[in-house]
A and B are shown apart, each in its own frame.
Chain A
Amino acid sequence: MKKRNRGFQIFSIVFLAIACIMIIIPFLLLIISSFTDENALMTDGYSFFPKKWSLGAYEYVFGSSGMIVKSYGYSVIVTAVGTVLSLVITGLMAYPLSRKDFRYRNFFTFMVFFTMLFNGGLVSQYIMWTQLIVVKNTILAYIIPNLLMSGFNVMIIRNFFSNDIPFEIIEAAKIDGSGEFNTFLKIVLPMSKPIFAAIGILTALGYWNNWTNGLYFITKPELYTFQNLLNRMIQQVNFLSSGSTVINSSQVKIPSVGIRMAIATIGVVPLMVMYPFFQKYFAKGLTVGAVKG
């Protein structure tokens, strides 16, 4: 490698450092306020140096449901299985669409793209996944509806295939007698590592963050994923604060400020810790089978 422009190096490091600090600061305030005594929060306001610390919010969150660890397990399984499945079917779909010599390319591309614009809405999807194909109250409910393949990801991967993989290489393989699928597996995939890594991360985040599938398709609390558990707490609070006439609100115990912060912290911190490992493992997984990278 040639030596690169030093000035630009330093600029890059500093620029990103500033950006990262701006991202981190709100999280820091979030984490600190989750450990702040609620009364101190109300009287002194949000601060990086609270006058009084407290674990109260965490006691509530962990105390109210002993299911957090289990739900975390479900989240990990759903994310892992879902991401792999999703990448496989997305990749398979994207490749033919990237081939300019494929006759039905435009038709199928449009078919994918159309789904990004129009959808039939929650109700009809609910009917589909509860009556035609029953996924309700199974772990499949977290993996299949809506999340398995998104038009967006197909388009992005297709775009990478057609722009970053020279058609000549594919042609050459063809002349060598390699079948289309073989070319895809042995030549195209290894060259597409970066985009699969990127889409993989985004898909994984999508699975990790999703709570709507659980909301609509899961009625057994012991099948809740982590996000479902936490979002259920937040949802209840939101409903209570919507001012519905139904509830004589003063009689309901409302988890308040600090608890939301604790919920968010519990959601973020483990991911901060896990992410680098995940990334490393992920990159390794992708290199398996790669002839040249």
Chain B
Amino acid sequence: MKTKTVKVKKKRKESEIVFLLMLLPGVIYLIINNYLPMFGLIIAFKKINFSKGILGSDWAGFDNFKFLFKTKDAWIITRNTLLYNIVFIVLNLVLGVLFAIVLNEIRSNVLKKSYQTILLLPQVVSMVIVAYMAYSFLSYENGFINNSILKPLGMKEVSWYKEPKYWPFILTFIQAWKSIGFNTILFLASVVGIDTSLYEAAEVDGATRVQQIMKITVPLLKPTMIVLGLLSVGKIFYSDFGLFLQVPMSSGSLFNVTQTIDTYVYRGMTSVTNIGMSSAAAFYQSFVGFLVVLGSNALVRKLDSDSALF
């Protein structure tokens, strides 16, 4: 009896050593690439003086954070950042699952591969280029929609870059357009991994394809959805800088619906030496994201302890 527990313990020790060795390269990398540079976070609390260096500079307390909360805009930028992110997170999950399932249905290999390639295409272009693609459709004078669709139909041209009401939809569409391939691929891996015998059994029971998907595929994707959801919740105070800065072409009329925390900070930083303030903004975004994740993770653990991140 005793020897057995010793043996088990020894084995466990061995496994642990193997595990730690496997972790080693990654941990070293994280320390060098992520943890050591975190000393940079203190810049957020410093009044920077380059001749004294970062550590030697005077402390500034929370002075660098003040500008974030100074104006009425603080409410607008926070609202925009949060609302867009919530919509994006939900939409990305739903579309990702939908496209992954549908793509998995297709039996022709050629077709499947072509679809997959095309879905990934937008992933390869930078937001600057996306902004110009959008502009080629939306420009008042030269845009495709005004010139080649609305005009020939005898409809009134729309001055897209002046009308805030369209932009929540335009931005949401572009975001989905750009990230659909990414999300599809993530879910596709899980869909492909599902044991086919489950479907066969269901088929024997007379379940339709749609029923199979709702009863088998979607529940099996739940853990992935939760993880992806939790991971994106951590970024809920960040916004895709290119999407909100470049795509609306800095048009002032649209600020109420396009200004987010990141664009606000960017526009407010007029000089190269404002790193204290931009670090403060990043710190604030991270910190709030961190709290939100801790909260939602605790919630998930309560409901379904296996799916929690940690």
Using a CB–CB distance below 8 Å, which chain A residues touch chain B?
2, 4-5, 8-9, 11-13, 15-16, 19-20, 22-24, 26-27, 29-30, 33, 41-42, 44-48, 89-90, 92-93, 95-97, 99, 101-106, 108-113, 115-121, 123-125, 127-128, 132-133, 144-146, 148-149, 152, 154-156, 159-160, 162-164, 179-181, 184, 191, 194-195, 197-199, 201-202, 205, 208-209, 231, 234, 238, 257, 260-261, 263-264, 267-268, 271-272, 275-276, 279
Contact = CB atoms under 8 A, between A and B. Distances in A.
B132 A4 contact: no
B231 A116 contact: yes
Contacts of B19: 95-96, 99, 102, 180
Interface of B: 12, 14-16, 18-20, 22-23, 25-27, 29-30, 32-41, 43, 99, 102-103, 105-107, 111, 113-126, 128-129, 132-134, 136-137, 139, 141-144, 146-148, 177, 180, 182, 185-186, 188-190, 192-193, 200, 203, 208-210, 223-224, 227-228, 231, 234-235, 275, 278-279, 282-283, 286, 289-290, 293, 306, 309-310
Of listed A92, A120, A162, A234, residue having the most chain B CB within 10 A? A120
Of listed B20, B22, B34, B210, residue having the most chain A CB within 10 A? B34
B281 to A, nearest CB: 11
A20 B115 contact: yes
A30 B133 contact: yes
B218 to A, nearest CB: 14
A24 B118 contact: yes
B275 to A, nearest CB: 7
Given A93-B22, A95-B22, A194-B188, A163 B208 contact: no
Contacts of B14: 179-180
Contacts of B33: 125, 128, 144-146, 148-149
Given A121-B40, A180-B18, A279-B113, A45 B102 contact: no
A164 B193 contact: yes
Given A9-B106, A108-B23, A194-B188, A149 B30 contact: yes
Nearest to A261: B132
A116 to B, nearest CB: 6
A125 B134 CA distance: 34
B270 to A, nearest CB: 11
Given A26-B133, A205-B124, 19 more contacts: A8-B210, A12-B102, A26-B134, A26-B177, A44-B147, A45-B141, A46-B137, A92-B22, A95-B19, A102-B16, A102-B19, A108-B27, A116-B235, A119-B38, A123-B275, A124-B43, A231-B126, A264-B132, A276-B113
Contact of A159 (B18, B119, B180, B227): B227
Contacts of A149: 26, 29-30, 33
Contact of B126 (A128, A163, A209): A209
B142 A46 contact: yes
A245 B92 CA distance: 42
A156 B286 CA distance: 20
Of listed B106, B128, B143, residue having the most chain A CB within 10 A? B128
Nearest to B21: A181
Nearest to A15: B102
B5 to A, nearest CB: 16
A125 B117 CA distance: 34
A121 B43 contact: yes
A47 B148 contact: yes
Contacts of B286: 117-119
A98 to B, nearest CB: 10
Contacts of B107: 4, 9
B189 A119 contact: no
Nearest to A158: B227
Contacts of A41: 142
Nearest to B110: A276
Contacts of B146: 45
A275 B123 CA distance: 13
Given A109-B310, A127-B37, A20 B142 contact: no
Contacts of A268: 121, 124-125
